[in-house]
Amino acid sequence: MGNKIPDEGPRIYNLFPLLVGSIPDWEQRLPEIAAMQFNWVFLNPFHAPGFSGSLYSIKDYYQLHPLFQGESQESAEQLLREFVRQAENRGLAVMMDLVINHTAKDSPLVSQHPEWYLHEEDGSVHSPFVIAPDDPQNVTVWEDLAEIDYRQRPAREELLAYWKKLLQHYIQLGFHGFRCDAAYKVPGEVWADLIETARELNPEIRFFAETLGAPLHQVEQLHSAGFDYFFNSAKWWDFHADWLLEQYEQFRHIAPSIAFPESHDTERLVAEWGGEERYSRLWYLFTAFFSAGVMLPIGYEYGFRRKLHVVETRPKDWEEPEFDLTSFISAVNAMKANTPVLNEEGPQRRFTSPDHPLVGLLRQSEYSAEKVAGLINTDTEHSHDFDLDDLGEAMGVEVEAIQEITPFYPTDSLARHQPIQVAPYSMRIFHVPEQGS
């Protein structure tokens, strides 16, 4: 594969490194990840952390977290280069987390370059904080972090030169992409400069903006930065409210997006919904359908319940599988890879009433007559039927032009012209290829 980036939308497996251990242990997971038909591996920060031990409190961007170094005598560069090479050999591109809105408070950069940071009136380094949207008195301050100052001034050029050198280092090790943590906290013009520099080194490099929870204006200021993908909020949809489809329409003109049923920042889906396999099946199928990209964290395929923790998680936290979704996930990923309209972000609309237990979504290509429709039964107790002629009308074609592409369903499932029955809390997907219209 070399440094070639996959042509399809990203199907991302988040290999949370604290749960796995040393870099050679990461390599042991690659055959299984590839067998599930993912095309990207995302690594959370693997750098040496500051005093808090948090992966996102980075003390040294060039040194490894001791757990990931393990017993190996090889350098960080050798270990990472070999991991990326092993992933490439299995058709997997590797992205790493790029955390440049803050560093650890005990990073040497704080004393070496105090002018790069925001400071309080007493001269101490400013820690980032967040105010709960529903309670202004509820303020969370990250005391282990030092917030970087991106205001326009001479010191900013030095700071950007440091980040450009960091990008060069990891691009030369073979990394194919960067997930940009809290991208909205860094000015779009800064990202544009960094992304342009990275693409001069490797035109195939990909940048993924993490902007969850950001106000719309902070996302829109990234419009011209050059990001390839954003992460969307599909995980929090109730299948009925209008906001997700409105957000999809707003953001698809900035960049295509990536959905996920859970992430390293959220509770595990199984912990939220109980251990029934059908919930995890539906949510992965829905998120794979909804947008150009999809991501899941390690352990989702086995129904893990324990939330991933950026300080405390360790390999001993590996759980007994609740179930095994690896075959299902492989089939969903293959469906996505083989359906071009599921790898772009053309128009998407709901064709059922907002309060109906069956949710019908129609996605259309910007580039061809290809269409795909999903029917989601949100009722946990009862099956619901959908009339085949109504599906043809929603998709704008004769019924004979429609094929089912739901994993493990026959493609000619509609041949008998019976109503479509959707089982409780499940989803079925139907496709009109370009030549079918």
Mean of the per-residue pLDDT values of the chain: 94
Q: Is residue 136 part of a domain?
A: no
Residue 392 belongs to domain with CATH number:
2.60.40.1180
pLDDT in tens, 106-134: 999 999 999 999 999 999 999 998 777 67
Task: Quick: pLDDT tens for 216-240.
Answer: 778 888 888 999 999 999 999 999 9
Q: pTM for this structure?
A: 0.95
Res 6: pLDDT? 55
Domain boundary among 325, 343, 361: 343
183 and 294 housed in the same domain: yes
The pLDDT of residue 2 is 40
50 in any annotated domain: yes
For residue 208, pLDDT over 70 is answered with yes
What does the pLDDT read at residue 1?
Answer: 35
Residues 252 and 378 reside in one and the same domain = no
Domain boundary among 300, 316, 343: 343
For residue 5, pLDDT beyond 60: no
* Domain range enclosing 48: 11-102+151-343
Residue 414's CB: how many other CB atoms inside 10 A?
Answer: 19
111 φ, ψ (degrees, to nearest 5): -85, -30
The answer to whether residues 311 and 359 belong to one domain is no
Identify whether residues 331 and 357 lie together within a single domain.
no
Number of domains the chain is built from: 2
pLDDT per position as a tens digit, 11-63:
999 999 999 999 999 999 999 999 999 999 999 999 999 999 999 999 999 99
pLDDT tier, 138 (very low <50, low <70, confident <90, very high otherwise): confident
8 A C-beta contact, residue 230 and residue 293: no
- Residue 58 is part of a domain; what is its CATH number? 3.20.20.80
Tell which wins on pLDDT, 130 or 377. 377
Let me know whether 256 and 388 are in one domain: no
In this predicted structure, the answer to whether residue 3 has a pLDDT above a threshold of 60 is no
Looking at residue 415, what is its pLDDT? 87
Residues 401-428: tens digit of each pLDDT: 999 999 999 988 898 889 999 999 999 9
Q: Pick from 414, 407, 409, 370: which is nearest to 391 by CA?
A: 414
Average pLDDT of 189-211? 96
Please choose, from the candidates 104, 106, 100, 125, the residue with its C-alpha nearest in 3D space to the C-alpha of residue 114. Answer: 125
Please tell me the distance from the alpha carbon of residue 369 to that of residue 341, in angstroms, as a whole number.
Answer: 9
Q: What is the pLDDT of residue 403?
A: 96
Asked whether the beta carbons of 11 and 333 are under 8 A apart, the reply is yes
Q: Is residue 114 part of a domain?
A: no
pLDDT of res. 421: 96
CA neighbor of 39 nearest in space, from 12, 7, 3:
12
Say yes or no: 164 and 246 in one domain.
Answer: yes
**In this structure, are 403 and 334 located in the same domain?**
no
Say whether both 356 and 310 belong to one domain: no
316 HSE (CA, 13 A, CB side): 2
pLDDT value of residue 154: 93
Domain assignment present for 113: no
Residue 109, domain member (yes or no): no
Residue range 273-291, pLDDT digits in tens: 988 999 999 999 999 999 9
pLDDT tens per residue, range 230-270: 999 999 999 999 999 999 998 898 899 999 999 999 999 99
Judged against a pLDDT cut of 50, whether residue 328 lies above it is answered with yes
Asked if 298 and 181 sit in the same domain, the reply is yes
